[in-house]
Structure 1
């Protein structure tokens, strides 16, 4: 007899014994008082990282960021930064060195007003935190930290600057922890993965996207409308027939999502984008439009085209399935990574 068959036989035998016992008990109910059955205690939910441990993590990450900012030894970042955060910070340091100022560096001071701690036992584990108001930024910063495995250190994986006046969703108390949400979770209005894909379409073609109705209008979309018009107007002053285009797509980095108190999710993801500024009139030439893009430009020849490649981070609130609310952006980071003449 196989092991599987033997195990099945034992289960059936045990079930039969249980049925027999219940039958005897039924015959005795008229003779004996039924004993009360104690109710099992509900499991106590708790975060797998305490607030004290999170503070220690934040201090260690902040120490590395501060040390590298002073020394400009970007290779030391990998000890406590990973994924999009590492790529973005390395580029910011490069630009700051070329510009000879620290304006391109996002303030990553890690004094937090709120932490959102993981409750999941398995890895990777992600925690989120919102800073107090940095002195040189108009809004706080939302950060995501990842522990890839039990043997790995927690590292800063990504961050966004929150939108002015944004109302953040509510989360479970920090000591209870908040559950991670899978990239293909269908309890939401749309899965985290699909939300990012749809938003890439909206950022690329704005109201012409078939997904535009799924999203509330936001500051990032308005930024591109205003910035694109500014660039086109500047080119047209020279009668050069200016054009501005932007194209977005998600990266292959995993989407980071955490459950909100109402059953929705806070979703953070990495994207890449390209801005193309063109002077269509023959004989017209244009160069990089900002100090940062000029620092990345180097000694390339000036032509009628400027292409700027960006690394982006976006964070959005995705409502639970059945909600009448739209998906809404809560913050973003938009950092030039390279510039070319097309």
Structure 2
């Protein structure tokens, strides 16, 4: 595993390059009509990737300046576009621009899919200072007539170890959500296990994953003491945005996907006052008092490393980013007034 901050994605070795060229020189498969099947090729070179990232940065900066989600069209897509819009909404409601998580798209290095069809995936890590954590970016091109767009981002956890993968000149295999070929588990299975760890931290899956920032955040939410007014509960679920997954040089996979969690504040003591402040209160509007229940809904982008099947390590979370997406309330759940004073 590579721990140096400057060695996230490395160029392939001469041996790997020779193997890739040899594979291309073999007889091409034919379909039933006898025509040659398209050969997967690296979808981008380094120069084109740099140009794409600069274009995305320009569009993102313009949208950020006005907090205009409509201006993200053509630059951000999928969960990236949705979550950026949610950040704009929260920033305006809370008068706090820091909730718009800014980062540069200047690439330290990247890797691209070997593909002949669409969608096509690119992963890159941003450049960063010694005292910062880098961002992992996932890009997608969904059809030949569309530009590459930013699909998701995650800020890497401190101390994570990320294996090398092949340079854009060679490319690497795209992995489907349910593909566990030569892997410890498929991307979907890893996401499901991690969500179970969030919901059942003392269960079997809870013991498989490190106590990362997201797990600590959810534990802190559950630990809020509302004993004199009510109770709090947290539940997580897998996202429906799919996965962006590429094979690493050691046979594992880096995958990015989404999940969400909801923190419900429930008033159970009649006559008490339960009010919410901070960003949750800001999205509640002028009335921040909980009469029955108030639920804070969080949108999360997260990346995992899935080791090869013969590796000793288990799947692990590499990084994440989250935003408070919305707050809903249900005053009908208010506790009944005491029968006697």
State the Cα RMSD in Å: 2.3
Larger RCO of the pair (alpha carbons < 8 Å, separation 6+): 2
Partner of residue 303, structure 1:
290
Partner of residue 29, structure 1:
none
Superposition pairs of residues 1-342 of structure 1, within 5 angstroms: 41-43=22-24, 47-133=42-128, 138-187=132-181, 188-208=183-203, 210-229=204-223, 231-232=224-225, 235-236=226-227, 239-240=228-229, 242-290=230-278, 292-300=279-287, 302-303=289-290, 305-342=293-330
Q: Aligned partners of 2:210 and 2:314: how far apart in 1?
A: 6
Runs of 4 or more consecutive aligned structure 1 residues displaced over 6 Å after TM superposition? none
Q: Aligned partners of 1:138 and 1:286: how far apart in 2?
A: 37
Residue 102 and residue 185 in structure 1: after superposition, are their counterparts in 2 closer, same or farther (change >3 A)? same
Q: Aligned partners of 1:57 and 1:126: how far apart in 2?
A: 13
Where is the helix percentage greater, Structure 1 or Structure 2? 1
Q: Aligned partners of 1:134 and 1:335: how far apart in 2?
A: 24
Residue 333 and residue 113 in structure 1: after superposition, are their counterparts in 2 closer, same or farther (change >3 A)? same
Q: Aligned partners of 2:45 and 2:75: how far apart in 1?
A: 19
Q: Aligned partners of 1:85 and 1:180: how far apart in 2?
A: 20
Asked if the contact 2:68/2:88 (under 8 Å) is kept, the reply is no
Residue 340 and residue 300 in structure 1: after superposition, are their counterparts in 2 closer, same or farther (change >3 A)? farther
Asked if the contact 1:62/1:108 (under 8 Å) is kept, the reply is no
Displacement after TM superposition at 1:243 (Å): 3.1
**Number of equivalenced pairs:** 294
TM-score, structure 1 length as denominator?
0.79
Q: Aligned partners of 1:201 and 1:70: how far apart in 2?
A: 38
Asked if the contact 1:126/1:144 (under 8 Å) is kept, the reply is yes
Q: Aligned partners of 2:22 and 2:88: how far apart in 1?
A: 53
Asked if the contact 1:216/1:326 (under 8 Å) is kept, the reply is no
Displacement after TM superposition at 1:247 (Å): 1.1
Partner of residue 21, structure 1:
none
Q: Aligned partners of 2:303 and 2:22: how far apart in 1?
A: 37
Displacement after TM superposition at 1:279 (Å): 4.2
Q: Aligned partners of 1:99 and 1:221: how far apart in 2?
A: 25
Give the SS at the match of 2:159.
coil
Asked if the contact 2:41/2:116 (under 8 Å) is kept, the reply is no
Q: Which consecutive residues of structure 2, in runs of 5 or more, have no partner in the other structure?
A: 1-20, 26-39, 331-341
Partner of residue 3, structure 1:
none
The structure with the largest alpha-carbon Rg is 1
Displacement after TM superposition at 1:110 (Å): 1.0
TM-score, structure 2 length as denominator?
0.80
Residue 150 and residue 294 in structure 1: after superposition, are their counterparts in 2 closer, same or farther (change >3 A)? same
Deviations 1:221-240 (A, max 9, x none): 122223432x22xx34xx33
Displacement after TM superposition at 1:336 (Å): 0.6
Higher mean displacement: 266-275 or 214-223: 214-223
Asked if the contact 1:286/1:306 (under 8 Å) is kept, the reply is no
Higher mean displacement: 92-101 or 323-332: 92-101
